[in-house]
Structure 1
């Protein structure tokens, strides 16, 4: 093979490789469901939770999400419903104990997504995305974890979803 052809091939590989890296810029938003009623089994959102879910939808309406994920419980599905509706995305269910696998799937796909979980699953999901966070308590609502991936490096931003 001629040296110039080898050089052209190597340059093409470099260009294609850099485009793959650029395509790996994405964000994963992870949040616990909003406030729930006091029912014991599969509760719905409380009035305050419905308001927080709407505020979350407003906050993320321009975030270029490609997918939304929720565990198959009323409170998580109701938390993500306003945003999914606004973005015309279907809610994809994942098992409550399967957040770590979902995090790996999102990292591999380079897909920007919102993942709604529970106080005992959200920290594990964020950790599976490569960040360190403390555990949440049953009283913690409104924490929004944003794991941004840029050129293979992850950065964590933690926000609070405000209540009007």
Structure 2
């Protein structure tokens, strides 16, 4: 019985302190950005500059939404193309958000960072614009264009109150 009481007391002391550390880390974060390239597009008509997603692309868009299930987004951004909007839509709907459109050729990164401070944001772009967006966020030429066949890259950029920034790249199939 004494052992049981000791275990319970230790549990009450240890676990709250773990939660406090997690909360402190979360409170230190001032913005988190998730950036992806649009899902697989229909390549049937080479003249079509604004194709829709293929059935596999729509499936990937839904899979992104499932992947992000535990994340509460405050905003979703996309270029104004069918393939990017269709990729962003499942996650935007799951978070009850409208999609904000951005133009990568006329984009002011510092204004964007200020506007999204304190938020968790999903950004959907293209094979060339997504890595450039990440590089602009972190103010570093770290990531190259995405290979044309690759629709699985996930970039995550985090800024903290103490001025630190982290970026990571993972592949989600």
TM tier, shorter chain? 0.7 to 0.9
Classify the secondary structure of the residue corresponding to 2:146. coil
Q: CA deviation at 1:63?
A: 1.5
Number of equivalences: 139
Aligned to 1:107: 113
CA RMSD of aligned residues (A): 1.7
- Which residue does the alignment assign to 1:37? 42
The alignment partner of 1:69 has SS state of strand
State how 1:1-164 maps to structure 2 within 5 Å. Answer: 22=27, 25-38=30-43, 39=45, 40-98=48-106, 100-101=107-108, 103-109=109-115, 110=117, 111-130=119-138, 131=140, 132-151=142-161, 152-162=163-173
Q: TM-score, normalised by structure 2?
A: 0.74
Give the match for residue 19 of structure 1. Answer: none
Please tell me whether Structure 1 or Structure 2 has the larger radius of gyration of its CA atoms: 2
Q: Deviations over 1:51-86 (max 9, x none)?
A: 111111111132221100011100000000000111
Residue 52 of structure 1 contacts residue 161 of structure 1 at CA under 8 Å; is this kept in 2?
no
Structure 1 gaps, min length 5: 1-21
Aligned to 1:6: none
